[in-house]
Structures are given as structure tokens and as C-alpha cells.
Structure 1
Amino acid sequence: MPQTASSNLTPAQIQDLQESFNTFDRNNDGTISRRELHSLLHTVGHKVNAQGLENLLTKYDTDKSGTIDFKEFLSLTALLIKNKVSSN
């Protein structure tokens, strides 16, 4: 995993993130596609252009499947949470 920040998430945060993941995993295949990830990031206020989205996928799609599974999603969101906290 590129980041170990996901280990700093509380069980309640992980539960909330699982619910968010499930909401955006529209086809219920256990992964979030590029389009679903873009929609999720936009919904939570992280504006990302095509290159930024590609960079996130390159960094966090550790199994190179072209999608983000829940474990990869935890690493990504842990970083976003950390960056949001540190920028406040």
C-alpha cells in the first residue's frame, strides 16, 4: 500500500467509509470504477481533473485492476482525510 494512514482510521470511520464505498459502487461488484471514483470525489468536495484522477488511480490501484477495491479506497480516503485535517 502506498500509505499506511488507513491504520489510523477508527472503526467508526471505517464503517462510514464502507457505507460510502457501497453507495458509489453502483453495480455492486466490490470495486469503484474510474467514473464512480470521480463522482465520489466530486460529491465530497474534492475537485479533480482527468490527470489528477489518473494520478490517484495510478497511486492507489495497487493491484493494477483499473478499479479501486475497498482496501485501496481506505488508503486513498485516509490520505484525503489527513490532508483535509492538516489544511484546516
Structure 2
Amino acid sequence: TTTGKSRRELSEVHGFSEEQIAVFEESFSLLDKDGDGNISNYEIRSLMHSLGYSPSEEDISTVISKVDTDGNGSVDFDEFLTMMRCRR
């Protein structure tokens, strides 16, 4: 996985099945356009626009800040799983 943790470890931490983790990995890779292991502000905006939303910079920053535990201003895979868990 992109975090160095196994799907089993991620499954235990986040409460998803290993199959769900695999689907999230695929989704994350599609969002991470530059392949740096993080979803940037720009990449989130691009996703939202493709879904028909026009979020403000503040809206995107708010979403990121809720899960950005390392404070780097973007969302890594572990943080992405946290975001998905909150959306259940």
C-alpha cells in the first residue's frame, strides 16, 4: 500500500475490510494525479468539479484540515481512509 502498512493493518485500524481497502487504494491512485502519495488541494478541487461541485478554497481547506494529521496541507492514504470512515 502507499503507507507501508499492510491491508490487514489498515483494515484493523480503520474498520474496513481488506477488499474495501483495495478499492480505496485504487480510488486514491486515481485522485493522486502526480503520484506523490498525497492528494493535494488542486487534486481535491479537480475531483469535486468532476462530480459537479464548485467548492471554494476555504471549503477544500476545511475538508483537508479535518483529516490532515501531519499538517502538510494534503491528504495521504492513511488520512484518506480516515476521511472515508467519517463519511460512512
TM-score, normalization: structure 1? 0.71
From 31, 49, 55, the equivalent of 1:24 is: 31
- Identity in percent: 33
Any gaps of 5 or more consecutive residues in structure 1?
Answer: 1-5, 83-88
Aligned pair count reads: 76
Q: How far has the Cα of 1:33 moved from its partner?
A: 0.4
Query: Using the alignment, how far apart are the partners of 1:16 and 1:44 within structure 2?
Result: 19
Query: Using the alignment, how far apart are the partners of 1:56 and 1:32 within structure 2?
Result: 12
Provide the aligned C-alpha RMSD in A. Answer: 2.1
From 41, 50, 55, the equivalent of 2:62 is: 55
TM-score, normalization: structure 2? 0.71
State the AA in 1 paired with 2:33. Answer: R
Higher relative contact order (CA 8 A, sep 6+): 1
Structure whose CA Rg is larger: 2
Q: Which ranges of 4 or more aligned residues in structure 1 deviate by more than 2 Å?
A: 38-52
Which has the larger share of helix?
1
Query: Using the alignment, how far apart are the partners of 2:53 and 2:86 within structure 1?
Result: 12
State the AA in 2 paired with 1:9. Answer: F
Q: How far has the Cα of 1:40 moved from its partner?
A: 2.9
